[in-house]
């Protein structure tokens, strides 16, 4: 593997955004995801390879998070580094030179304002090569359906943290199935379980972002 | 009327109460289900004329006291200060600052010495609300000195608020500081040592010096830092979040001799469980935790307004059967 790609991957895993970023302390003054990606593009490295490096870094931090070896703020920093890479790759996505694995529409269901878990899933999935559309919090069934209309073939992710809003997941799934029968829906959130996911006919449940990536890659 | 305060004082001091396990809810939203009159708080309270506000505060106090007595509560959490569950979305259980003070004074007169008053006054940092968590998390790693300042300010304001409410006769002060989620602490161990535990310790000491019980509310899984929590000097730990897999028996075995435990009937079960399930869970919790005292029964977190009142009654019913400390054959309370 190209050395630059390896370094980009490390920057993502460690959350090193750019040269000016003081975190992590042992990488101070070193180039970050931002500079290294720019350099890689200038050196003519295939952007697909850059995306691949990004995915490797994101997968590593995602797995660490799953093993409870990384904490939410650290994962958010990795996501920030990943965003810096994506900013450089954007033109290649637009031109079609770099292909992503698919589209993933995610939101926290109606009545629920818990944002953090949904955001982490969105970021890790994006860093693993998916085009992510984050609809935010308090997302109604109609909004999910409108997003599927706009992004045909997407996979949908729903987050719920409250017992009172878990029922809105079921309603949203029913609404989606009525209009777009083939759409795959995965669900998650603190009070959820595989049993509940099965009960509401979701296509998958995961307890953390890496689990979400594994589900998506398995479809 | 039976005075329930001595029992909760004993439990919060980690001793065994004379009569029964005390009952206390961190935040109770079902006042109106148990009363012909309506408690008016928050945004609705703001729409009232000042005369009606004054009248409402008196009515609120009467309702809260009557319902607390009916439900056998030993303590009552006064409505909180303004907070938003999301930008522009105020939480249900709050009053504007001045009204909150006034409500506390009136409540104190109404409940007299029959109930303990509790107030959420803060003191320790928590997982931030709304979108603040992104910049907060970045600062945790990139500019920790700013978080030092934030923690110091949070502690200082908590103490100031705490003093105000203890002067009004509040006897339990709560810092509602969610430091964890399902997997464990939000903060890494170094951050916990720097931004959380020193402040929790200072806060607990200061609150105790006011002659008041310091209580930490935190959701999430805090198993990995139970020792630090126990050593912080707080009187009680509230929540013991079952959603996050916290096992109250394990917690009791580990720190039950140092910290009073308050909880932990799953607040989610109040919403979607049956009275039978609530009865069973409450019974299990009581049987696991009441021995030796140092235990206060309640839901793990807010009992939200959508919960059927039968579920609250089922908890009380289980308490009537299994909550007594009295050595008599028919122990039903
Ligand atoms: C932080 C928090 C809040 C913050 C939210 C801040 C924010 N910016 O999002 C605030 C203070 C606003 C809040 C408010 C409330 N909260 Co709250 N909150 C929490 C807390 C402590 C942590 C949640 C969190 O952020 N976790 C961190 C992230 C990383 O974890 P996560 O969300 O679980 O997500 C992970 C997985 O679940 C999964 N995942 C998540 N989404 C998805 C989606 C997909 C597709 C997949 C595959 C995976 C997946 O991956 C994520 C990463 O690992 C939990 C306690 C707990 N045990 O979780 C209570 C908790 C969720 N809250 C609860 C309650 C009751 C409330 C309130 C009603 C309280 C009140 N007094 O009003 C309000 C409701 C507001 C509303 N309408 O939404 C209860 C819910 C109980 C229930 N069964 O209904 C909990 C469980 C606390 C408890 N002990 O009972 N809360």
Instruction: Please state the ipTM of this predicted complex.
Output: 0.92
Mean pLDDT of B202-208: 98
The 10s digit of each residue's pLDDT in B114-138 is: 999 999 999 999 998 877 899 999 9
Compute the distance between CA of residue B4 and CA of residue B113 in angstroms, rounded to an integer: 9
Q: Which of B129, B138, B278 to mutate to test the interface with A (most CBs of A within 10 A)?
A: B138
Question: Residue A73 is nearest to which of B130, B137, B306, comparing CB atoms?
Answer: B137
Burial B52-83 (b: 16+ CB within 10 A, else e): ebeebbebbbbbbbbbbeebbbbbbbbbbeee
User: Residue B327 has what pLDDT?
Assistant: 74
Pocket-testing residue among B88, B244, B301, ligand 1, by greatest number of atoms within 8 A of Cβ: B301
Of A34-43, A104-113, B79-88, B181-190, least confident by mean pLDDT is B79-88
CB within 6 Å of ligand 1 — which residues?
A 72, 111-118, 120-121, 157-159, 161-163, 186-191, 206-209, 212; B 27, 85, 91, 127, 129-130, 133, 178, 181-182, 219-220, 239, 241, 243-244, 267-268, 300-302, 304
User: Residue B2 has what pLDDT?
Assistant: 73
User: Residue A1 has what pLDDT?
Assistant: 59
**A159 alpha carbon – ligand 1 mean position (Å):** 10
Residue pair B244/B180 in contact by the 8 Å Cβ criterion? yes
Domains identified in chain B, total number: 1
Q: Would A3-94 and A103-218 be classified into the same CATH topology?
A: no
Domain assignment of residue B101, given as a range: 5-322
Is A68's CB within 8 Å of B183's CB?
yes
- Backbone dihedral angles phi then psi of residue A68, each to the nearest 5 degrees: 65, 30
Q: What is the DSSP string of A70-122?
A: S-HHHHHHHHHHHHHHHHHHHHHHHHTSS--S-EEEEEEBTT----HHHHHHH
Containing B5, the helix (H) or strand (E) segment is helix B5-12
Is B130's CB within 8 Å of A113's CB?
yes
The 10s digit of each residue's pLDDT in B142-178 is: 999 999 999 999 999 999 999 999 999 999 999 999 9
Specify the 3-state DSSP secondary structure of A208: coil
- CATH number at A3-94: 1.10.1240.10
pLDDT band at A120 (very low <50, low <70, confident <90, very high): very high
User: Residue B331 has what pLDDT?
Assistant: 63
Is A164's CB within 8 Å of B304's CB?
yes
Query: β-strands B236-239, B213-218: how paired?
Result: parallel
pLDDT band at B328 (very low <50, low <70, confident <90, very high): low
Q: What percent of chain B has pLDDT over 90?
A: 91
Give the dihedral sign, CA A80/A82/A83/A85: positive
Q: Which atom of ligand 1 is nearest to the CA of A187?
A: 45
Residue B293 falls inside a structural domain: yes
Residue pair B195/B147 in contact by the 8 Å Cβ criterion? yes
User: Residue A9 has what pLDDT?
Assistant: 97
On the question of pLDDT at B326 being above 90, the answer is no
Cis? peptide before A24, omega within 30° of 0:
yes
Residue B332 falls inside a structural domain: no
> What is the domain-level CATH number for residue B123?
3.20.20.210
Q: Which of A23, A68, A72, A77 to mutate to test the interface with B (most CBs of B within 10 A)?
A: A72
Sheet with A185-188: strands ordered across: A131-134, A103-108, A155-159, A185-188, A204-205
- CATH number at A103-218: 3.40.50.280
Residue pair B316/B72 in contact by the 8 Å Cβ criterion? yes
Residue pair B239/B214 in contact by the 8 Å Cβ criterion? no
DSSP code, position A25:
G
Domain boundaries, chain A: 3-94, 103-218
Residue B198 falls inside a structural domain: yes
Please give the angle made by the CA atoms of B62, B66 and B69, to the nearest 5 degrees: 145
Compute the distance between CA of residue B159 and CA of residue B163 in angstroms, rounded to an integer: 6
């Amino acid at each position: 593997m190209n050395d630059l790609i390896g370094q980009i991957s490390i920057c993502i895993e460690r959350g090193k955004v750019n040269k000016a970023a003081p975190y992590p302390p042992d990488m101070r003054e070193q180039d970050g995801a931002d500079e290294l990606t720019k350099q890689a593009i200038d050196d003519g490295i295939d952007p697909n390879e850059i995306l691949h490096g990004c995915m490797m870094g994101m997968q590593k931090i995602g797995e660490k998070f799953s093993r409870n070896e990384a904490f939410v703020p650290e994962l958010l920093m990795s996501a920030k580094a990943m965003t810096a890479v994506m900013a450089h790759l954007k033109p290649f996505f637009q031109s079609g030179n770099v292909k992503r694995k698919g589209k993933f529409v995610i939101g926290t269901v109606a009545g629920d304002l818990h944002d953090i878990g949904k955001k982490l899933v969105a970021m890790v999935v994006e860093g693993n090569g998916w085009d992510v559309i984050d609809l935010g919090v308090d997302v109604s069934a109609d909004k999910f359906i409108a997003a599927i209309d706009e992004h045909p073939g997407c996979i949908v992710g729903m987050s719920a943290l409250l017992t009172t809003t878990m029922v809105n997941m079921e309603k949203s799934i029913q609404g989606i199935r009525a209009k777009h029968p083939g759409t795959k829906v995965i669900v998650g959130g603190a009070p959820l379980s595989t049993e509940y996911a099965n009960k509401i006919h979701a296509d998958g449940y995961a307890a953390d972002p890496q689990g979400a990536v594994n589900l998506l890659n398995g479809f | 009327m039976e005075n329930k305060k001595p029992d909760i004082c004993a439990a919060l001091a980690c001793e065994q109460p004379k009569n029964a396990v005390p009952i206390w809810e961190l935040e109770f939203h079902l006042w109106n289900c148990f009363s012909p009159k309506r408690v008016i708080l928050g945004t609705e309270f703001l729409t009232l004329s000042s005369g009606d506000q004054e009248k409402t505060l008196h009515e609120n106090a009467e309702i809260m006291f009557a319902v607390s007595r009916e439900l056998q509560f030993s303590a009552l959490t006064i409505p909180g200060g303004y907070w938003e569950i999301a930008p522009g979305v105020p939480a249900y259980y709050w009053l504007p600052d001045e009204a909150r003070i006034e409500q506390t004074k009136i409540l104190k007169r109404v409940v007299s010495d029959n109930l303990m008053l509790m107030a959420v006054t803060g003191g320790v940092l928590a997982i931030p609300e709304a979108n603040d968590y992104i910049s907060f998390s970045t600062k945790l790693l990139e500019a920790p000195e700013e978080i030092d300042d934030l923690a110091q300010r949070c502690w200082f304001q908590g103490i100031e608020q705490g003093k105000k409410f203890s002067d009004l006769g509040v006897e339990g002060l709560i810092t509602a500081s969610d430091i964890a989620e399902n997997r464990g602490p939000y903060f890494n161990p170094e951050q916990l040592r720097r931004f959380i535990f020193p402040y929790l310790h200072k806060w607990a000491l200061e609150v105790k010096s006011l002659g008041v019980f310091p209580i930490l509310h935190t959701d999430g899984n805090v198993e990995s830092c139970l020792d630090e929590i126990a050593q912080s000097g707080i009187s009680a730990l509230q929540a013991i979040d079952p959603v996050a897999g916290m096992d109250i028996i394990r917690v009791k075995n580990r720190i039950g001799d140092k910290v009073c435990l308050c909880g932990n009937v799953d607040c989610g079960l109040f919403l979607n469980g049956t009275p039978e399930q609530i009865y069973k869970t409450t019974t299990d919790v009581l049987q696991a935790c009441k021995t030796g005292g140092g235990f206060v029964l309640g839901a793990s977190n807010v009992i939200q307004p959508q919960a059927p009142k039968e579920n609250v009654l089922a908890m009380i019913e289980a308490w009537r059967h299994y909550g007594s400390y009295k050595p008599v054959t028919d122990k039903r309370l």
